[in-house]
Amino acid sequence: MPGNVDFQRPYAPDAKRAKFYVLVSAPGEQDRMNELDDYDFELPRELIAQHPLAVRSDSRLMLVNRATGEIDHSHVRDLTRWLYPGDVIVLNDSRVIPAKLVGYRTRTRGRWQGLFLRVDAATKTWEVLTKTRGTLTPGETIMVQDRGGRDSMMLRCLARTDEGHLVVIPEPIDQWTPLVDDPYTLLDQFGRIPLPPYIRDGQMVDDDVEDYQTVYAKHAGSVAAPTAGLHFTEPLLRAVKKREVEVATVTLHVGIGTFRPIATERLEDHMMHFETGELAEAECDKILAAKRTGGRVLAVGTTSVRVLESAAIHGDGSLKPWSGETDLFIRPGFKFQAIDGLMTNFHLPKSSLLVLVSALAGRDLIRRAYAEAVREEYRFFSYGDAMLIF
């Protein structure tokens, strides 16, 4: 149940800044929290959001206080009530690409689906994750159909990677329909938004093109949205800046690992997929300037956390500009060096994202928060509500 903390008090210029704590596990507790079953919970199916709210910022916002263990409730539109002048919020500006490809095998006419993963700039070949009956052989072609069901582009199979992914090269369907070289342009023309399977069984509608994208998305490359950012609107961002809160951006291109649950019984045996990220120098300077003046760093989304903490690790504990690949798996026992708080959605059971928020706030507090969210009928997952951990 919510405590007696006055979460509704507005900011006062002489108010004391909230403090943040590094939680240290008791002897034996950290090993207990390494079991995957400790991150399971039951969720009524009707609480899984199938569509976003008409106004993004009308989503509910659970307030989770790490220092006191108290939980209360508000809305995202009121986020600025818990921000102080001099704080900085960090957004992931990666843009979701229409990476889902649908079509058929030209030899058998059998239905085919694939997920674009990356392009090799030198060879212009694509790596595609695919599930289809039978084995596609080198030289075989796939006809990709656009969102209207029209034949639009050919993919010629060249090889398979060690992971079983297809290596393909796009080709025009005829001599009168040339293709552009840019893969993201082709995906914008012929691809579909790769919704997670818990949203309408992965079947997109026209509104998802806009709904499953943050309003500040900039750099194309993600196959899933950084969903905490879906709650932001232009008016909310203006309100944040009016509060004299700095807005910084990082980039982390969300990969296929976001769809995959942890399959090992112990967390230490789980291997994360690499994802590409960047903390640019100018954005790093904004964060460091806030820290120097006592401001807090609020990460919006677990993807922003992974970029910032990866940058701090590569900087030997000091936040420095960074770009590259990261397979950082944040689990209990991790020492956070970059962030003070986190705004995040409600995550799937037994997922690496649920483990991350448990590492930040403590497993027991997160379990209570999720139980409260179920009782209060919060909306879960990508199109659902959010929590603010501070």
- pLDDT value of residue 21: 31
- pLDDT value of residue 236: 98
Do the Cβ atoms of 135 and 148 come closer than 8 Å? no
Nearest to 359 by CA among 374, 347, 371: 347
Neighbours of 34 (CB within 10 A): 17
Portions of the chain given CATH number 2.40.10.240: 100-190
Supply the pTM of this predicted model: 0.88
Portions of the chain given CATH number 3.40.1780.10: 29-96+207-389
Q: What are the average pLDDT values for consecutive 10-residue runs of the chain, which has 390 residues? A: 29 31 38 82 97 98 97 98 97 97 94 93 94 83 95 96 93 91 94 94 92 97 96 98 98 84 89 93 98 97 98 96 96 96 97 96 97 98 98
Nearest to 76 by CA among 299, 345, 353, 307: 345
Cα dist from 7 to 4, 29, 75, whole Å: 9, 30, 12
Distance CA 74, CA 72 (A): 7
CATH of domain 100-190: 2.40.10.240
Distance CA 153, CA 111 (A): 15
- pLDDT value of residue 259: 62
Three-state secondary structure along 240-303?
HHHCCCEEEEEEECCCHHHHCCCCCCEHHHCCCCCEEEEECHHHHHHHHHHHHCCCCEEEECHH
Architecture of domain 29-96+207-389: 3-Layer(aba) Sandwich (3.40)
- pLDDT value of residue 273: 86
Nearest to 212 by CA among 355, 47, 345, 376: 345
- pLDDT value of residue 28: 42
Which residues make beta-bridge pairs with 192?
Answer: 100
Distance CA 155, CA 165 (A): 14
